A and B are shown apart, each in its own frame.
Chain A
Amino acid sequence: EPEVTQTPSHQVTQMGQEVILRCVPISNHLYFYWYRQILGQKVEFLVSFYNNEISEKSEIFDDQFSVERPDGSNFTLKIRSTKLEDSAMYFCAGHRGPNEKLFFGSGTQLSVL
């Protein structure tokens, strides 16, 4: 079965640094998402992306966050100036059509020191 690929699997960064988390969605998917899961807490929606623009974002997704799909292949999440509380597992996800099955990647564990 096709997979959503995320890199790196682990990212350690200093507070205030910029990080870019990368995702390669399944090739025929059109809807893309970022979710995150802080250790011991629920999986939380961050942002949805369709037709090359953000369709919805949560309160967590403030001005420090951005997403883009520059080449029609990769889907990235950028955090401009990381904070300690950004430490979490970040999951990329996607699906092909409206309300179709959502496929998650294996996640990037981000640790902000």
Chain B
Amino acid sequence: TQLLEQSPQFLSIQEGENLTVYCNSSSVFSSLQWYRQEPGEGPVLLVTVVTGGEVKKLKRLTFQFGDARKDSSLHITAAQPGDTGLYLCAGVRNTGFQKLVFGTGTRLLVSP
């Protein structure tokens, strides 16, 4: 069974602080996706990382895929209250299908 563990589970910080969320597995994935989920909504894709060591930036968010394609991180610089939400990583095997293995999730609260 493929498992993706995220840490921390909960994070409460002040506006302007930086943070990093980790997503770790013992399994290799062909790609890893990061989603954000708001209450009562489905997950929304933020980014997909495909190549080992790849780094992608989305404004203040930086995503990195581990060299061995088993782990990933999400770094947020100067967090804002609008960043509050549930962040999910999800691994996928390259079959063409999007059968995702979701991580345990990190709930982020950014206070003004």
Contact = CB atoms under 8 A, between A and B. Distances in A.
Contacts of A75: none
Contact-size category for B: 20 to 34
A76 B92 CA distance: 24
A104 B96 contact: no
A6 to B, nearest CB: 8
B57 interface: no
Interface in B21-78: 31, 33, 40-45, 48
A65 interface: no
A56 B41 contact: no
Interface residues of A, number: 24
A13 interface: no
A91 B42 contact: yes
A73 interface: no
B33 to A, nearest CB: 8
A107 B105 contact: no
Interface in B72-101: 88, 90, 92, 94, 96-101
A106 interface: yes
B98 A102 contact: yes
Interface of B: 31, 33, 40-45, 48, 88, 90, 92, 94, 96-105
Closest 6 CB pairs of A and B: A104-B42, A98-B96, A43-B102, A102-B98, A42-B102, A91-B42
18 contacts: A4-B42, A31-B96, A31-B98, A33-B98, A33-B99, A42-B104, A43-B90, A48-B98, A56-B97, A93-B42, A99-B92, A99-B94, A99-B98, A101-B45, A102-B45, A104-B42, A104-B44, A107-B40
